[in-house]
Amino acid sequence: MEASRCKQSVQHRREENQATNTQYTTYSGNDTLPKAGGCRSFVSLTLLKQERLQKAKAMAENAVKMHKVFSVKGPYSVVRTALRARGWVEQRMHCPSPNDHRRHSNESRACNNNAGDSNDEHSGNLKKDQDPDRLYGLMSRLVRNEMVYFYWTNRSDTININNLQKEQITNHFVKSESLTTKVGLCVNLRNLYWFDSADPDTFFPRCYRPGAQDEMLAFIADYRRTACTSFLKYVVEREQGVQRKGNSHNIRGVTKRSKLPSRPVILSQMINSALKVCHEFLESLEHRDIDIHSETSPTLTKEEWAEFINGYYLAVHEGVEIENSDRFVTCCKAMLQRLLEVSPQQDIDGIHNIWIIKPGAKSRGRGIKCARRLDQILSLVNGDPTLTTDSKWVVQKYLERPLLVHGTKFDIRQWFLVTAWNPLTVWFYKKCYVRFSTQPYSLYTMDSSVHLCNNSIQKHLIPSRDRHCSIPVDNMWSDDQFKRFLSSQGREAQWQTVIVPGMKKALIHAVQTTQDLMESRKNSFELYGADFMLGQDLCPWLIEINSSPTMASSTPVTARLCTAVQEDTLRIILDWTTDRTANTGDFELIHKQPILLSLRRGHASVSYAQSLLGGPETRLTSLDNGLRVASEETGHATCTVGLWIGAGSRYESEKNNGAGFFLEHMAFKGTKKHPQTALEQQVESMGAHLSAYTSREHTAYYMKTLAKDLPKAMELLSEVIQSCSLNEAEIEQQRGVVLRELEEVEGNLQEVCLDLLHATAFQGTPLGQSVLGPSNNARTLRRQDLVEYIGSHYKAPRMVLSAAGGVNHEELVSLAKSHFGGLSFDYDGDAVPVLSPCRFTGSEIRMRDDALPLAHVALAVEGASAASPDIVPLMVANSIIGSYDLTYGGGKHLSSRLACRAAEDNLCHSFQAFHSSYCDTGLLGIYLVADKHQIEDMVHWSQNAWMNLCTTVTESDVARGKNALKASLVGQLNGTTRICDDIGRQVLNYGRRIPLAEWDARIDAVTPRLVRDVCSKYLYDKCPAVAAVGPVEQLPDYNRMRSAMYWLRF
Q: What angle do CA 74, 76, 82 make, to 5 degrees?
A: 145
The pairing of beta strand 638-645 with beta strand 618-622: unpaired
Helices first, then strands: H and E counts in the chain: 40, 26
Q: What angle do CA 575, 580, 581 make, to 5 degrees?
A: 90
The pairing of beta strand 89-90 with beta strand 69-73: parallel
Please say whether the beta carbons of 1019 and 965 come within 8 A: no
Please say whether the beta carbons of 335 and 232 come within 8 A: yes
C-alpha torsion 589→591→592→596, nearest 10? 170
H or E segment and range at residue 946: helix 935-951
Beta carbons within 8 Å of 920's beta carbon, 6+ residues apart: 835, 837, 838, 865
The pairing of beta strand 424-436 with beta strand 476-478: antiparallel
Q: Report the percent of the chain where pLDDT is more than 90.
A: 51
pLDDT at residue 972 above 90?
no
- Which of 12-16, 681-685, 926-930 is predicted most confidently? 926-930
Estimate to the nearest angstrom the gap between the alpha carbon of 367 and the chain centroid. 36
Region 989-999 average pLDDT: 91
Helices (H), 882-924: 897-905
Total length of the chain: 1050
H or E segment and range at residue 219: helix 213-239
CA distances from 988 to 497, 650, 693, 697, 918 (A): 28, 15, 15, 10, 11
pLDDT tens digits along 189-198: 999 988 888 8
Q: What angle do CA 485, 487, 491 make, to 5 degrees?
A: 105
What is the C-alpha to C-alpha distance for residues 80 and 129, in angstroms, rounded to an integer? 9
pLDDT tens digits along 106-157: 444 434 444 445 544 443 344 455 666 678 888 888 999 999 999 999 888 8
How high is the mean pLDDT of the chain? 84
What is the C-alpha to C-alpha distance for residues 800 and 983, in angstroms, rounded to an integer? 9
pLDDT tens digits along 259-316: 444 455 677 888 889 999 998 888 887 765 545 555 556 778 888 899 999 999 988 8
549-573 residues labelled b (16+ CB within 10 A) or e (exposed): bbbbbbbebbeebbbbbbbbbbbbb
CA distances from 214 to 211, 217, 300, 315, 329 (A): 9, 5, 20, 30, 35
- 3-class secondary structure per residue, 130-154: CCCCCHHHHHHHHCCCCCCCEEEEC
- Amino acid identity, residue 33? L
Q: What is the DSSP letter of 286?
A: T
H or E segment and range at residue 800: strand 799-805
Q: Report the percent of the chain where pLDDT is more than 70.
A: 84
pLDDT tens digits along 900-940: 999 999 999 999 999 999 999 999 999 999 999 999 999 99
Region 796-816 average pLDDT: 93
pLDDT tens digits along 427-471: 999 999 999 999 999 988 888 888 888 887 888 888 888 889 899
Region 952-971 average pLDDT: 92
What is the C-alpha to C-alpha distance for residues 808 and 198, in angstroms, rounded to an integer? 14
pLDDT tens digits along 836-874: 889 999 999 999 999 999 999 999 999 999 999 999 999
pLDDT tens digits along 304-345: 899 999 999 988 888 877 776 677 888 998 999 999 888 899
853 burial via Cβ count (<10 Å: 0-12, 13-18, 19+)? exposed
Estimate to the nearest angstrom the gap between the alpha carbon of 772 and the chain centroid. 40
Least confident of 54-63, 521-530, 693-702, 726-735: 726-735
